Structures are given as C-alpha cells and as structure tokens.
Amino acid sequence: MDPAAFLLEPLQYGFLTRALLVTLAAAVVASVLSCWLILMGWSLMGDAVSHAVLPGVALAYIVGVPFSIGAFIFGAGAVALIGAVKSTTKLKSDTVIGVVFTALFAVGLAIISRTPSQVDLMHILFGNVLGVTDGELWQVLTLGALTLGIVLFKRRDLTLLAFDRTHAHVIGLNTRFLGALLLGLLALSVVVGLQAVGIILVVAMLITPGATAFLLTRSFDRMVVLAVAITTTAAVSGVYASYYLDISTGASVVLAQALAFTAAYVAAPRTGLLSQFRQRRRQAGSPAGQAA
C-alpha cells in the first residue's frame, strides 16, 4: 500500500479522527503527570483514583450530568478519604489505598448493576474512544489543556517536591498544598483518560510513559520530553494498529506503550539488560576480573 494512502485512509472517517485526537490529548496529559508519579512513588495512587471514579460515573449517568463531573468529584474524594484514613491509623499507604479504591470500585459496580441503562459497562471500564462525540472531544481537550497549564505553571515547585520535600518545606513552599494539587491533577488526568481508554487501562497511561522515560535518562526535563514523545508515538501507532488489525483501540495504545517500555528495559544505554550484560563481560575480561 502507498504510504500516503496508509496514513490518510483511517482519517477519512470522522469517528477515527476524533478517536486519534482524544487519545493524543489523554496520552500527553497522562505522560507528563506520570513523570512526577514515578519519582514520588505514587503509581499506586494513580491506580486507586482511576478505579475510585466508577461510582461517580454511575451516579453522573443517573443524575444526567457529564461523566467527567462525577468522575472528578469521586476521584478527588478518594484522594481525601485515603489521606484521612492514613492520618488517623497506623496503616501503611499501600494498605489504605488498596482498601479505599477496591471499596469504591465495588460501590460503582453495585450502582451499575442496579441501574437500568443503555450504557455498556465495558465502555466505562475499557473506554469507547471510537464513540467519542464532538462535545466529548472538546471536553477532553479543555480539561487536558487546563491540566497541562497548571502543571507547567507549577513545574518548578512540583519538581522540587518530588526530589526533596524537606528542602521545599524549608524554603517556604507549602508542601501540603503542592501534594494536594498534584493529586487533584491526577484526578483530572484520569477524567481525561477515561474517555479514551476507560477506567482500567488509564492506569497504564499514568505509569508506563514515565517508567519508560526513567529508564532512558536521569534528567527530569529530558524525562518529561521523552515521556511525551513515547506516548505520542504509541497513541498514533496504537490507533492505526487498531484500525488495520481490527482490535480494541485502548488496548492497542497501551500495548504500544508496553512495547516501548520493553525496548527501553532491554536496550537502555546505561540501565538496559544489554548494557548490563556488556558491563559484566568487560569486568570479567579485565585483569581484576580474571584475578578474581
């Protein structure tokens, strides 16, 4: 097939063009935020928030308001609930997160099971990117731009918080506010990703790009750039693969990200498996290694 025809054929369908735009917006927002989540060890929090929004989505359908409103309210509420339980018990963070997000996810499933609706549960869980309307597209683009704008505006403070929370506090930064802001942005990014890949697969979009970029560089600025480049490539290739292979679009995008992570894991310049193998061989061949 002619390369131009290969690239242009899927774009003749309006629904696929909207799917590509929504997926790109969700992927870019999630990839930028994933860099901070990886450095701060908050990956599990992304998992928690993405699952905890389900009852908000279900209630939003019942009330007749946009899913994004219910999702954001319950995402932010889950963060607050996790913080409250952690501060009033001696339980560790991962335990509290596991209890809260599974409980809220179960509440969402219970509401959906008791509510007659035309909304397919599979679309909520795994996304319905091919069914995105123009209104939903603009909603995602607006929320994505808002999230990115806030992240870029507070980038220096959030970066210092990630690397040295004590120093950030000493120089007068409100670390509690910054932590709450980052968690609020996490909830917003989940709302954005919800339209593209659904509640479950959005977790991968919040973790994999940052993890892949972390393997490739130790510079935070380069890490953000790499995460965006990786997730953009994965979004485009995933949407095209879903069209030509007739597979789930959300799953295809996440699999493309997983392939990028695998490549970095194997071939990263300093930390990849191949690099480690070569280093061991050089050490074994050196005089000190032979003497040992």
Return the residue matching tokens 């193998």: 277
Residue 28: what residue type? V
In this structure, the dihedral spanned by the alpha carbons of residues 140, 97, 225 and 27, taken in order and rounded to 10 degrees, is: -30
Contacts with 287 (C-beta within 8 Å, 6 or more apart), sequence order: none
Closest by CA to 94, choosing from 145, 152, 43, is 43
| Sign of the alpha-carbon torsion through 162, 168, 174, 175 | positive
Decide: 209 and 32 in contact? Cβ < 8 Å: no
Rounded Cα gap, residues 105 and 253, in angstroms: 24
User: Which DSSP helix (H) or strand (E) runs through 126?
Assistant: helix 121-126
Rounded Cα gap, residues 259 and 264, in angstroms: 9
- pLDDT score for 232: 94
Rounded Cα gap, residues 249 and 201, in angstroms: 11
Decide: 56 and 71 in contact? Cβ < 8 Å: yes
- Which structure tokens are listed for 130? 């091919």
- pLDDT score for 182: 87
The DSSP letter of residue 11 is G
Decide: 79 and 243 in contact? Cβ < 8 Å: no
- pLDDT score for 188: 84
Residue 258: what residue type? A
**17: burial class by Cβ within 10 Å (0-12, 13-18, 19+)?**
middle
Residues (pLDDT < 50) of the chain are: none
- pLDDT score for 213: 94
Residue 243: what residue type? Y
- pLDDT score for 120: 59
Rounded Cα gap, residues 36 and 188, in angstroms: 15
| Sign of the alpha-carbon torsion through 43, 47, 48, 53 | positive
| Sign of the alpha-carbon torsion through 142, 233, 130, 72 | negative
Rounded Cα gap, residues 255 and 251, in angstroms: 6
* pTM listed for this prediction: 0.85
- pLDDT score for 255: 92
Rounded Cα gap, residues 286 and 161, in angstroms: 42
